Amino acid sequence: MASATPVKYTLVARTLHWLIALGIIGAFAIALYEDDLKFSLLKIKLINYHKWVGLTVLLLAIVRVIWRLTHPAPKAPAHMKPWEKGVAHLTHGLLYLLMFCVPLGGWLYSSAKGFPIVLFGVIPFPALIDKNEAIAHTIKEWHGFGAWTVIILASLHALAALKHHFIDRDDVLKRML
C-alpha cells in the first residue's frame, strides 16, 4: 500500500478511470441506438455488444475499487469549500455505486428475460435469477433510470473538472490526465 498522499492519480487509476468512462458512454450510446431499431440481426448484435461493454465496465469497476482501496487519491485543493468537497465526495460515491448497480441491473434483466450472457461470445455468465417476465419490466426500468443517472452525474463530474481547470485554475483535471 502506498503511504504518502500523491499529487496525481497513478497510471493504473487514470487508465481505469478513462476505460470505465468510455465504456459507460459506449454502452449508453449503443442502448440509445439499438432501442429504436426493429428486431433484426443488427439489433441482436448491438444488444450483445451492450451487454459485453456493461460487464466489462463492471469488471473494471471491481479492479478500480480494489486499486483505490490500496492507493490513496490526491487530496482536494486547499481552496475548496467544505460543501464543494462534500458534493465531490457524494458524486464520486454515487458514481462508484452506479458502476456496480447499472451493469448488475442489466445482468438481472437479461436473466429475468431468459437471455443468456456470453461475454465476447466465449465466457458464459450464469443467470442471476430465473426467467420471470413479470419482474423483467421493472428491472429494465430501474436499469434505464440508473443509466440516465450515471450519465447526468458523469456530466456534472466532467463540468466540475472543467470548472476547476478553467475557472479555479487548479490541478484537479490535470491529476487525471
Model confidence over 9-54: pLDDT tens digits?
A: 999 999 999 999 999 999 999 999 999 999 999 999 999 999 999 9
Model-level pTM greater than 0.85? Answer: yes
Q: Is the pLDDT of residue 3 over 70?
A: no
What is the C-alpha separation between 134 and 31, in angstroms, rounded? 22
Q: Which of 65, 86, 61 is nearest to 76 (CA)?
A: 86
- CA dist 117 and 160 (Å) reads 36
| C-alpha dist (Å) from residue 53 to 10, 70, 77 | 24, 26, 34
Condensed to tens digits (0 to 9), the pLDDT of residues 49-104 reads: 999 999 999 999 999 999 999 999 888 888 889 999 999 999 999 999 999 999 99
| Residue from 95, 110, 134, 87 nearest 31 by CA | 110
Which residue type, as a one-letter code, is found at position 31? A
Residue bearing the bigger pLDDT, 92 or 165: 92
- Class for the domain spanning 11-176: mainly alpha
Q: Measured at the alpha carbon of residue 51, what is the angle toward residues 20 and 152, in degrees to the nearest 5?
A: 50
Q: 108 pLDDT band (50/70/90 cuts)?
A: very high
C-alpha 59/C-alpha 157 separation (Å) is: 22
